[in-house]
Amino acid sequence: MRKKTSGYILQCLILSSLLICPLYVFAQDKKDKEKTEKVKLYQGITAGVEIAGLGNYVLGSDILSSEVMLQANFLNRFLPVVEIGYGKVNTLSDATDIHYKAAAPFFKIGADYNFFHNKPHLPGYLFGGIRYGFSSFAYDVDAPDMTDTNYGGQIQVPFSYHGVNTTAHWLEIVGGMKVKIYKGFCMGWSIKYKKRLSYTKHANTEPWYIPGYGENAGTGFTLSYHLMYNLPF
Amino acid sequence: MKRLPIIFIIFTFAAIFMLNGCEGEVCPPNAMAYAKFTMVNQHGTAVAPTVPTSIIGQITTDVTVYDTLDNGEIIERIVEDSIISDTLINKESKMSTFKVPLSYSDETTFIISYDGEQQDYITIKHRNIPYFMSVDCGTMMFHEATEVTHSYGIDSVVIVNPNIDNYEKENFRIYFTVSDTQ
């Protein structure tokens, strides 16, 4: 249920972005010939917030993950970005009766490249980029007592680990689109391919959920949906 | 640039496709940790007993029992140092390797019974490692073998890999002296 809710919300958000497509059709009525002009180095800063994770949480997901971003624009082509977010999970599995809890901030730094840098008349652009992310957090795991299924089932071992400290590092390869919706306001979605670099191992547990990264697999995909505002300076 | 809307649509549906494709749990195929034994002769060549062989696991632990008194009252009683036996492999033929679970105690003895006629035993002292990987996969018990002793019918037992987890590998090698004519 946790995952399905997340999937449906993101799919709705992405499909809604298709409504923007007609804007591009109108925009293409302009001549595509862009005059080669001297482009200013500094083109501005965009602030944004990721809302898909917030939406999932409001609609009942056990996982909250959201982030704010600040992105500079150089030459309308290079877009360095800093993202600071917060990830929280408090879940109890119906199948295994295991309770997992973690909450921590996460940080990402990277840059995007505007593939349509020479088409500034368009109301949006496609981009690709890369991020380095890390999070330092502690988690709690509580599980039912472990019973030996052999040897008469006489021995039981409790399972409870609290405050397990972990640091995780990962890389993200990002691709997506950004479109203007009204004056300085923009929206955009992106696909992120995540590759875990490392995490602190503990003798008895490993983190199931990493704030900012998601479920602790070697690789994975995430979809994000941002609302952004181009700051007036 | 007339292809721009098409590119957007393709990207969108590709994203939805990938999102659906990525939903799935990855749990280890073996939730149980088994200790794997290999039986070899003095030259290191695999050998198998010529008779059907059973492996019986044995531990010593305190056991809770419930006694019913004459007046119908049920009382709980702990019987200390009880021996619990569990037949893990029953009369298997031509067995040169076998996999058996260790107990949650700190010592497990395996009795190798050769068709009920002769017996050898191997006692393993081990450290138990409760392990959590995912809320969807449950908890697992791994072990680390620290010491092994055996009966005189066995030449030696070597700990090849002390870590007993859900990745199958040779953990113990049992050496027998076998005459070269056999």
Q: What is the ipTM of this complex?
A: 0.78
A146, B137: Cβ pair inside 8 Å?
A: no
Residue A15 has pLDDT above 80, yes or no: no
Considering only alpha carbons, which residue of chain A is nearest residue B17?
A11
pTM: 0.78
pLDDT digits over A172-206, tens only? 999 999 998 888 899 998 999 999 999 998 999 99
| Rounded to 5°, angle at Cα A10 from A23 and B138 | 165
For residue A44, which of A70, A73, A80, A68 has the smallest C-alpha distance?
A73
Contact residues, chain B, for A146 at CB < 8 Å: 104, 130, 139, 141
Residue A14 has pLDDT above 80, yes or no: no
Residue A101 has pLDDT above 90, yes or no: yes
Chunked mean pLDDT (size 10), chain B, 182 residues: 59 57 63 92 90 94 89 91 92 93 95 90 96 91 96 94 93 89 56
Chain B residues in contact with chain A using a Cβ-Cβ cutoff of 8 Å: 1-2, 4-5, 7-9, 11-12, 15-16, 18-20, 22-23, 26, 32, 57, 59, 61-64, 84, 86, 88, 101, 103-105, 108, 128-139, 141
A50/A52 Cα distance (integer angstroms) = 6
Q: For residues B165 and B115, is the Cβ–Cβ distance under 8 A?
A: no
Pairing status of strand B172-175 against strand B34-40: parallel
Site from A4, A15, A150 to mutate, B interface, most B CB atoms within 10 angstroms: A150
Q: For residues A112 and A125, is the Cβ–Cβ distance under 8 A?
A: no
Residue A4: predicted pLDDT: 47
Residue B3: predicted pLDDT: 59
pLDDT level of residue A21 (50, 70, 90 thresholds): very low
- How far A44 CA sits from the closest chain B CA (Å)? 25
A230/A43 Cα distance (integer angstroms) = 10
Residue of B26, B104, B138 with shortest CB distance to A98: B138
Residue with tokens 């195929």: B29
Q: For residues B82 and B103, is the Cβ–Cβ distance under 8 A?
A: no
pLDDT level of residue A65 (50, 70, 90 thresholds): very high
Show me where the domains of chain B are located. Answer: 29-175
Average pLDDT, chain A: 85
Q: Find the length of chain B.
A: 182
Residue A95 has pLDDT above 80, yes or no: yes
B63, A14: Cβ pair inside 8 Å?
A: no
SS3 call for B119: strand
Residue B111: predicted pLDDT: 95
Residue A28 has pLDDT above 80, yes or no: no
A191, β-bridge pairs:
A175, A223
Residue A33 has pLDDT above 90, yes or no: no
